[in-house]
Amino acid sequence: MNIHEYQAKELLKSYGVRIQEGVVADSPETALKAAKKLNAETGTSWYVIKAQIHAGGRGKGKVKETGSNGVVLAKKLEEVPEKAKNILGGTLVTIQTGAEGKKVNKILVAEDVYYPGHSEPKEYYLSILLDRAKGCNVIMASTEGGMDIEEVAEKHPEKIIKEWVDPKVGLQGFQARKVAFKLGLEGNAFKEMVKFITALYNAYIGSDASQFEINPVLKTSDDKILAVDAKVNLDDNALFRHQDLAELRDLAEEDPLEVEAGKSDLNYVKLDGNVGCMVNGAGLAMATMDMIKLSGGEPANFLDVGGGANAVTVEAGFRIILQDPNVKAILINVFGGIVRCDRIANGVVEAYKSIENIPVPIIVRLQGTNAEEGAKIIDESGLKVSSAITLKEAAEKVRAAITS
Ligand code: GDP
Ligand code: MN
């Protein structure tokens, strides 16, 4: 689960990670109030207004309606409401949102931390994630902060510092010092970075996160180290242990069909293709998607209805697939193991009858216990549903359906 920057910064702060302070707002008026509060608390007289969407690249991104960037600087208090207005309610398009962009419902009004001083502020990159190949967490750091890290990794792999953490003993002090040293820091900034990395790692473990990306981490002109941006991804499977974090979920940022599928306990992922599919078991679902591709179609979704598929889950799956306007055919591929194929066939027929006007052909492939009986029920139902027993047969029927 992704959370917003302002939520991520609160989480980091609660673990002692220094952050660029900010106050969230949802209107030009509350933005002004937020700026006044920041001025009183931090003394800042410049304000950074940041669109809160679940995507990066906001600084260079543009709001379609107004042309404003997704991150802007206001050098006067009076400029805050106007600049906030140019972002709020607009559609922000960044390299990560796709051309359709994302609607901005909230902004973060933050203190300016790039103020002048005895040295230039400098941006770094820090992330923590699971290295699956090594079976442990890895801290990645770079002096090339504020930039597209994928590009740095490709062109200058030597500029990416990696430190692997042994899960049995956790992050050791020398490891945090090693990263800070390799980043070229010294004096107070070095100490601050060690503290920053240590607190960040504690936050990562404590929140059962699956990815932290802080880009940029800033060394201010007075040698403080703080998080200017924060991308936090939490492990869905551990959210039951963090009720407070689970509540940070923003459904407006998620695909509406995926949200609806979640309510029916369906594992659904929306894709761009033209063949909807409904399968029991994730492995079979992936194999089915391959088969759709081989037959000349493109999967419109991934949908695993789970081991105990029945008429209710099949109907819920149908309804979700049918809401996708790109779907030209639906393929149901179910293995009757625990559930018998004749019962699934009855479920499909029932679900079909309960939904009016299904506009697309449906191909049902049932295999396993009572497969023949299942196929018979489908074929004799008189509905626009055709049955297939083998994968090859199913593929041919899908091909015929999308090319007709
Ligand atoms: P992203 O573009 O979505 O990754 O958003 P970031 O939070 O990383 O912000 C984008 C850029 O805004 C940063 O790289 C900075 O250059 C700039 N920025 C952020 N905070 C401040 C600030 O306090 N003062 C100034 N002058 N610029 C800032
Ligand atoms: Mn960033």
DSSP bridge pairs for 362: 330, 385
Tell me what pLDDT residue 270 has. 92
Are 197 and 276 within one domain?
no
Are 309 and 376 within one domain?
yes
Are 294 and 397 within one domain?
yes
DSSP assignment of 203-228: HHHHTTEEEEEEEEEEE-TTS-EEES
CA-CA distance, 163 to 201, in Å (whole number)? 12
Global confidence as pTM? 0.84
Region of poorest pLDDT, from 23-37, 280-294, 387-401: 387-401
Are 204 and 328 within one domain?
no
| 57 carries a ligand binding annotation | yes
| 193 pLDDT more than 80 | yes
CA-CA distance, 82 to 28, in Å (whole number)? 7
The amino acid sitting at 301 is N
- Residue 125 is among the residues annotated as catalytic for this protein: yes
CA-CA distance, 152 to 74, in Å (whole number)? 30
**Mean predicted confidence (pLDDT) in 175-179:** 98
Tell me what pLDDT residue 338 has. 77
DSSP bridge pairs for 54: none
> Percent of the chain scored above 90 by pLDDT?
73
SS3 330: strand
Closest ligand 1 atom to residue 111 Cα is 23
Given the residues 125, 204, 268, 352, the one annotated as active site: 125
Band (111; pLDDT cuts 50, 70, 90): very high
| 50 carries a ligand binding annotation | yes
Structure confidence by residue, pLDDT tens digits, 48-98: 999 999 999 999 999 999 999 999 999 999 999 999 999 999 999 999 998
> Structurally, how many domains does the chain consist of?
3
| 403 pLDDT more than 90 | no
Given the residues 213, 268, 315, 352, the one annotated as active site: 213
| 113 carries a ligand binding annotation | yes
Structure confidence by residue, pLDDT tens digits, 115-173: 999 899 999 999 999 999 999 999 999 999 988 888 998 999 999 999 999 999 999 99
| 404 pLDDT more than 90 | no
Beta strands in 37-196 (DSSP E): 47-51, 62-63, 71-74, 91-93, 102-103, 107-111, 122-131, 136-142, 160-165
**At 13, phi and psi to the nearest 5?**
-60, -40
| 245 pLDDT more than 80 | yes
Atom 9, ligand 1: residue with shortest CA distance: 59
Are 368 and 260 within one domain?
yes
Q: Take residue 323 and report the two structure tokens written for it.
A: 């809401």
Listed residues 222, 246, 270: the one ending a domain: 246
| Higher-pLDDT residue of 325, 66 | 66
Cβ 124 vs Cβ 143: under 8 Å: yes
**CATH number for 44:** 3.30.1490.20
Are 270 and 383 within one domain?
yes
16 part of a folded domain: no
Q: How far is the CA of 152 from the centre of ligand 1 (A)?
A: 18
The pick from 38, 54, 71, 107 for probing ligand 1's pocket by mutation, whose C-beta has the most ligand atoms within 8 angstroms, reads: 71
| 358 carries a ligand binding annotation | no
Structure confidence by residue, pLDDT tens digits, 326-373: 999 999 998 888 778 888 888 888 888 888 778 889 999 989 999 999
Region of poorest pLDDT, from 9-13, 189-193, 261-265, 306-310: 306-310
**Mean predicted confidence (pLDDT) in 101-123:** 95
Closest ligand 1 atom to residue 229 Cα is 7
> Percent of the chain scored above 70 by pLDDT?
100
Are 140 and 227 within one domain?
yes
Listed residues 217, 246, 275: the one ending a domain: 246
| 337 carries a ligand binding annotation | yes
Q: How far is the CA of 165 from the centre of ligand 2 (A)?
A: 25
Exposed e or buried b per residue across 127-145, where buried means at least 16 C-beta atoms within 10 angstroms of its C-beta:
bbbbeeeeeebebbbbbbb
Tell me what pLDDT residue 85 has. 98
Of 261, 303, 309, 312, the residue nearest 282 (C-alpha): 303
**CATH number for 289:** 3.40.50.261
Are 240 and 344 within one domain?
no
Listed residues 70, 91, 111: the one ending a domain: 111
Q: What is the span of the domain harbouring residue 284? A: 256-403
The amino acid sitting at 197 is I
Q: How far is the CA of 5 from the centre of ligand 1 (A)?
A: 12
Cβ 130 vs Cβ 212: under 8 Å: no
15 part of a folded domain: no
| 362: exposed, middle or buried (Cβ count in 10 Å: 0-12, 13-18, 19+) | buried
The pick from 228, 231, 232 for probing ligand 1's pocket by mutation, whose C-beta has the most ligand atoms within 8 angstroms, reads: 228
For the chain, first and last CA: distance in Å? 40
58 part of a folded domain: yes
Are 94 and 133 within one domain?
no
**CATH number for 135:** 3.30.470.20
Tell me what pLDDT residue 232 has. 98
Band (229; pLDDT cuts 50, 70, 90): very high
Query: Mean pLDDT of all residues in the chain?
Result: 93
12 part of a folded domain: no
Tell me what pLDDT residue 386 has. 86
Are 294 and 370 within one domain?
yes
Residue 117 neighbours by CB distance under 10 Å: 10
Residues lining ligand 1, Cβ inside 6 A: 20, 48, 50, 56-59, 71, 73, 112-114, 146, 215-216, 228-229
Q: How far is the CA of 59 from the centre of ligand 1 (A)?
A: 6
Atom 12, ligand 1: residue with shortest CA distance: 59
| 283 pLDDT more than 80 | yes
Tell me what pLDDT residue 319 has. 86
